A = this chain, B = another copy of it.
Amino acid sequence: MPRTSEEYIQSVRDGREVYYRGKRVDDITTHPVLRIAVAHAADLFNSKDRLYDDPNYGRISKYFKIPRNTEDLLARHRLIYEDTLRFDGLFNIVQAIGSDALFSLMIMARKVDGKYRTNYYERVMKYYEYVVKNDLAIAVAQTDVKGHRAKRPHEQQDPDLYLRVVEVRDDGIVVNGAKIHTTQGPVANEIIVLPYRAMVEGDRDYAVAFAVPANAKGLKFIVRPVLEYDGNPNAVNSAARFEVESLTIFDHVFIPWDRVFLFREWDMAGPLAWYFATYHRFTAISYRAATANLYLGAALLAARANGIENAPHVRDWIIQMIMYKEIMRMGAMAAALEPIIDEGIAVPNPVYTNVSKLYSNAHFIDVIHGLIDIAGGLIATMPSHDDLRNNDERGYITKYLAGAVDGETRYKIMSLVRELSASHLAGYLLTAMIHAEGSEAASKIGMMREYNFREAEELVNRVLSKLRI
């Protein structure tokens, strides 16, 4: 049954163990900071037209629609892009990432079952039915803390530095370890856990995938400090919207068998991670293109406020922002147009997805650079919102910050620009744009492995074969 936002909010008051800035949080829905992340997730359930009628599962969220072809992938791209716009440029992850994981598990479960005579596909589809019928909010915990980067999971000094199976019981398994960067884990209903990387036989206890409710015993979320809002009375967009990440601790958490989707089939860990990465990078380029509108719009308004919208260097920066946005969208369209159809499910083309994602990794910094250049030094030294509210100061501020628009309007625009380009939020977003959904180095290594060089090699070999010396 589709849920209302209120039903979602009630559902996360479930005794989960969440820490924020050194304190256990009793109720995330009323906590002064976390409630905003809850409210953002809740907003997803308010979206008009967010449901469709599935022949098998009835009226369910569009995020969970299994893509079968180009049209479905294009629709998924638009859904993520438009929802991100609707939520003021901020991605709303809680059903997007869950479906990225579920589609990957569906494809891989078939493959693992075929090779190992397991029954994962049945488990995955039963869990999928549970998720879609209950309209759940899902987080995915994939990135291990990784310890020494040059060592494999089973080679680490502390064996828990990748999450692993520490006990096998009749009714399920017990896992121990930690995952990092779990976006919206603290406010989700369920956590899907996936392996981070390809593994070797010695890593078999680390080759595990499963789902677990957020209030499971032993599961603990240590939330990042939301410095863009918490303690910052000059927040603009961040005063109303943000998502939270956590260091997610699994201290001997029990998982019943029907929620285990991979267990010691070590050669399947890499492919599963790959499918998820591909789906999730497609999601990423879709929301990043929408977020880019915040920067593009702010740059336009700031340029006009400063009276420089026709200056050539301003034009160059704005073109860069357009390219940032549109290369993401072009990549998503091309990825949908030439999908891989695997086990009857459409996977976005990994080359176009990765090209777009690599562009986004490398060039978000140019978007920030451009916005700072257009806005001017004012964003570093301007008075605070409280100063504007003080009647002794307000007159001076509005008089002296006038540009090609009045001082109050320019102040507000610059306050948003400060947040987008010269604040904790900017640093947080820049780090995310560089590292989230897989680092540049990892994506490049993947690209070199997957890319089909045959066309280029044949061409050059043909040219060389004609050379007579």
Chain A residues within CB distance 8 Å of chain B: 19, 21-24, 85, 88-89, 143, 145-150, 157-158, 160-161, 178, 180-181, 220, 222-225, 227, 230-234, 236-237, 240, 245-247, 249, 251, 293-294, 296-298, 300-301, 306-308, 311-313, 315-316, 318-319, 322-323, 326-327, 329-331, 333-334, 337-338, 351-352, 355-356, 358-359, 365, 368-369, 372-373, 376-390, 392-393, 396-397, 399-404, 408, 411-413, 415-416, 418, 421-424, 426-428, 430-432, 434-436, 439-441, 444-445, 447-448, 451, 453, 455-464, 466-467, 469
Main SS of chain A's interface residues?
Answer: helix
Q: Which of B232, B378, B388 contacts A180 (CB 8 A)?
A: B378
With contact pairs A22-B386, A372-B430 given, residues A396 and B315 touching in the complex (Cβ less than 8 Å): no
A-B contact pairs, 26 of them (CB 8 A): A19-B390, A19-B393, A21-B387, A22-B386, A23-B390, A150-B307, A150-B308, A224-B381, A224-B383, A225-B386, A227-B234, A227-B423, A227-B424, A245-B380, A251-B396, A293-B455, A294-B456, A323-B359, A326-B352, A327-B355, A330-B352, A330-B356, A372-B430, A376-B435, A377-B435, A422-B424
Q: Within 8 Å CB of A404, what residues of B? A: 148-149
Q: Which of B432, B440, B469 contacts A373 (CB 8 A)?
A: B440
A1 to chain B, nearest CB (A): 31
Q: Which of B232, B307, B319, B386 contacts A148 (CB 8 A)?
A: B307
With contact pairs A319-B448, A431-B379, A459-B294 given, residues A396 and B300 touching in the complex (Cβ less than 8 Å): no
Q: Which of B294, B400, B413, B430 contacts A178 (CB 8 A)?
A: B400
For A415, give the chain B residue with the smallest CB separation.
Answer: B467
Q: Which of B19, B334, B453 contacts A330 (CB 8 A)?
A: B334
Distance, CA A119 to CA B57, complexed state (A): 59
Q: Within 8 Å CB of A146, what residues of B? A: 403
Whether B161 and A400, one on each chain, are in contact in the complex, defined by CB atoms closer than 8 angstroms, is yes
Whether B444 and A383, one on each chain, are in contact in the complex, defined by CB atoms closer than 8 angstroms, is no
Distance, CA A383 to CA B224, complexed state (A): 5
The residue in A158, A318, A376, A447 that gathers the most chain B C-beta atoms within 10 A of its C-beta is A376
Whether A403 and B147, one on each chain, are in contact in the complex, defined by CB atoms closer than 8 angstroms, is yes
Q: Which of B240, B337, B396 contacts A222 (CB 8 A)?
A: B396
With contact pairs A161-B402, A181-B377, A389-B469 given, residues A384 and B331 touching in the complex (Cβ less than 8 Å): no
Q: Which of B300, B447, B460 contacts A294 (CB 8 A)?
A: B460
- Number of copies of this protein chain within its complex: 4
Whether A358 and B319, one on each chain, are in contact in the complex, defined by CB atoms closer than 8 angstroms, is yes
A26 to chain B, nearest CB (A): 15
Distance, CA A355 to CA B236, complexed state (A): 31
Whether B322 and A447, one on each chain, are in contact in the complex, defined by CB atoms closer than 8 angstroms, is yes
With contact pairs A356-B330, A421-B427 given, residues A460 and B297 touching in the complex (Cβ less than 8 Å): yes
Q: Within 8 Å CB of A382, what residues of B? A: 224, 247
Q: Within 8 Å CB of A326, what residues of B? A: 351-352, 355
Distance, CA A440 to CA B282, complexed state (A): 30
Q: Within 8 Å CB of A338, what residues of B? A: 333
Whether B315 and A330, one on each chain, are in contact in the complex, defined by CB atoms closer than 8 angstroms, is no
Whether B240 and A466, one on each chain, are in contact in the complex, defined by CB atoms closer than 8 angstroms, is yes
For A227, give the chain B residue with the smallest CB separation.
Answer: B232
For A436, give the chain B residue with the smallest CB separation.
Answer: B377
Q: Within 8 Å CB of A329, what residues of B? A: 334, 352
Whether B444 and A315, one on each chain, are in contact in the complex, defined by CB atoms closer than 8 angstroms, is yes
Whether A431 and B234, one on each chain, are in contact in the complex, defined by CB atoms closer than 8 angstroms, is no
Q: Which of B160, B224, B440, B444 contacts A380 (CB 8 A)?
A: B224
Whether A451 and B322, one on each chain, are in contact in the complex, defined by CB atoms closer than 8 angstroms, is yes
Q: A85-B455, A147-B403, A160-B399 are in contact. List 7 more A-B contacts (CB 8 A).
A: A143-B377, A158-B402, A296-B456, A298-B460, A323-B358, A388-B469, A427-B427
Whether A427 and B432, one on each chain, are in contact in the complex, defined by CB atoms closer than 8 angstroms, is no
For A88, give the chain B residue with the smallest CB separation.
Answer: B463
Distance, CA A418 to CA B150, complexed state (A): 23
Q: Within 8 Å CB of A435, what residues of B? A: 372, 376-377, 380
